[in-house]
Amino acid sequence: MNQINQSGWKPGTPVAAQDGGDHPTVTGNKALMLEEALIFEIGGADTCGVDLAETQTDLPSRMGKFARKDEIGLPGLSEPETVRHYTRLSRQNYGIDLGFFPLGSCTMKHNPRLNEKVARMPGFLDVHPMQPANTVQGALGVIDELSHWLITLTGMNAVAMSPKAGAHGELCGILCIRAALEARGDARKVVLVPESAHGTNPATAAFAGYETEDIPANADGRVDLDALKARLGPDVAAVMITNPNTCGLFERDMKAISDAVHEAGGLVYCDGANFNAIMGRVRPGDLGVDAMHINLHKTFSTPHGGGGPGSGPVVLSEALAPFAPLPFVEKKSDGSLRIVEEENMEDQHASAFGRMTAFHGQMGMFTRALTYILSHGSDGLRQASGDAVLNANYVLRQLEDVLHAPYGASGPCMHEALFGDEGFADGFSTLDLAKGLIDEGFHPMTMYFPLVVHGAMLVEPTETESKDALDQFIMAMRSLAQRAKDGDEALLTAPHHAPRARLDEAQAARKPRLAWSEANGG
């Protein structure tokens, strides 16, 4: 393994280390580690950062009772003050551009700069959704071509492009299923959700008006096929399965599950949030899936987590395609593209279940995702999923002797490695290990999810990381696991080097203060 940082700049405070003092500063700043106040505390309401022309203030108002009675109290800051405020805050943030971000199930992969370059081309960037269709044929072409590749990669029949994120896509898929069942006069009431599914799945089903029931997992962390079959019947509308599941395992019985559900008259929803593990290798359409959302912001590398919006197109089987929501892009006989909406829909669109968004979806993400697909090609996409799985298995096997790996014996994992807190000393938890990871310079992994594993730690390296980067993470994790097992007290107060240490999460959730006000002292 490479030694970390053999000759570069090293963090730390050498002066303090040399003479043993902590050398407090009057500002609270520590050289480049800057304290930053709230924006309301920097700018005053009586100052103004812009030189505005004097305006006449005695004009008659037509606002009536809606007229503002008091000063609005917005802080006045100059442009450099504003720029510095947000730049300082951004320096205390951690993102994928700064280092390894192993947040399992969230797929924090690198956002290729080529995607950004293409998305910033004026023909894609400076368009408006209400422009006449004949002036945005290129943008519609992106939607049409991305649709084609999503359908091709998943082996499905159609795709609804408008959903804005994963859970929105789930809702779209379940509403398609409900529309299809209602169209055949079959009002089923129950949606089955295995324990290993994403937490949003039961929430989606409940929101769409269904009762949800759990299906247990078997000992190796996969859906218990016999328990599922036993529960199927004329009241089951659908089964929602996450594949690969949240234990990082591929549901090997997926085809048998789909066949059983179809035989019982139900439909199969697959949560495709983890499609990045099987992209280019498995087509969900071949496994009998009827609807699946694809997170462009995960699998297809578009930014998320504060860096950009999600995008959750839903691919649909032949049975569900007619029920897809408006709007969608359609090719006319002359090869030009049009947007099908309420005003111009025809008989063949009559069964669309409605509309989920005002416009066509996340255009900026479509451009980036299509760039990712076309720049990788079929061999590149296959390699990306293969590398993601290889990296996760490397992490799993390098750590399973020091961390409890509950499904380590269930065969190779897919894109994420799952560990539990078994063996930690009394009073030491997953949270403590995660806080220690902050000191080591990494974003913590996903914690306490999935729920089926005690003190779960879900690590997803993605194909982004090199072996050297993984080795550094593994070295840090091995050290922290050992400290948690040995009961190293210092871990209980970690992080020791972050701008803030342990925030009061309980108080923040119980009594959050969501707005600044002068009355309570800022």
Partner 1 sequence: MARYFTEEHEWIEVDGETATIGITDYAQEQLGDVVFVEVPQTGADLAKGAEAAVVESVKAASDVYAPISGTVLEGNAALEADPELVNTSPDDEGWFFKLTIGDHDELEGLMNAKAYKAFCDSL
Task: Report the residue number, 106 or 159, with the smaller CB distance to partner 1.
Answer: 106
DSSP state letters, 328-342: EEEE-TTS-EEEE-G
Query: How far is the C-alpha of 316 from the C-alpha of 177, rounded, in Å?
Result: 10
Rounded to 5 degrees, φ, ψ at 240 are -110, 115
Task: Report the residue number, 98 or 451, with the smaller CB distance to partner 1.
Answer: 451
What is the smallest separation between the CB atom of 496 and partner 1, expressed in angstroms? 21
Collapse the DSSP code of 211 into the 3-class scheme (helix H, G, I; strand E, B; otherwise coil) and give the result.
strand
List of residues 6+ apart from 6 with CB closer than 8 A:
none
Task: Report the residue number, 421 or 465, with the smaller CB distance to partner 1.
Answer: 421
Is residue 363 within 8 A of residue 296, CB to CB? The reply is no
Task: Report the residue number, 206 or 374, with the smaller CB distance to partner 1.
Answer: 206
What is the smallest separation between the CB atom of 63 and partner 1, expressed in angstroms? 38
Query: How far is the C-alpha of 357 from the C-alpha of 337, rounded, in Å?
Result: 20
Query: How far is the C-alpha of 436 from the C-alpha of 434, rounded, in Å?
Result: 5
Is residue 293 within 8 A of residue 163, CB to CB? The reply is yes
Spell out the alpha helix ranges (H) of 400-427. Answer: none
Is residue 242 within 8 A of residue 221, CB to CB? The reply is no
Is residue 244 within 8 A of residue 278, CB to CB? The reply is yes
Is residue 251 within 8 A of residue 257, CB to CB? The reply is yes
What is the smallest separation between the CB atom of 210 and partner 1, expressed in angstroms? 14
Task: Report the residue number, 121 or 508, with the smaller CB distance to partner 1.
Answer: 508
What is the smallest separation between the CB atom of 214 and partner 1, expressed in angstroms? 10
What is the smallest separation between the CB atom of 489 and partner 1, expressed in angstroms? 20
Query: How far is the C-alpha of 202 from the C-alpha of 204, rounded, in Å?
Result: 5
What is the smallest separation between the CB atom of 434 and partner 1, expressed in angstroms? 12
Residue with tokens 């922290």: 480
For residue 290, give both structure tokens: 């009827």
List of residues 6+ apart from 287 with CB closer than 8 A:
243, 254, 255, 258, 270
Task: Report the residue number, 394 or 449, with the smaller CB distance to partner 1.
Answer: 449
Task: Report the residue number, 88 or 502, with the smaller CB distance to partner 1.
Answer: 502
Task: Report the residue number, 48 or 431, with the smaller CB distance to partner 1.
Answer: 431
In one letter, which amino acid is 329? V
Task: Report the residue number, 319 or 447, with the smaller CB distance to partner 1.
Answer: 447
Spell out the alpha helix ranges (H) of 270-328. Answer: none
Around Cβ 72, how many Cβ atoms within 10 Å?
A: 6
What is the smallest separation between the CB atom of 250 and partner 1, expressed in angstroms? 26
What is the smallest separation between the CB atom of 508 and partner 1, expressed in angstroms? 9
Residue with tokens 């199930």: 105
Positions that interact with partner 1 (CB under 8 A):
447-448, 451, 505-506, 509-510
For residue 447, give both structure tokens: 């914690």
Task: Report the residue number, 202 or 364, with the smaller CB distance to partner 1.
Answer: 202
Collapse the DSSP code of 269 into the 3-class scheme (helix H, G, I; strand E, B; otherwise coil) and give the result.
strand
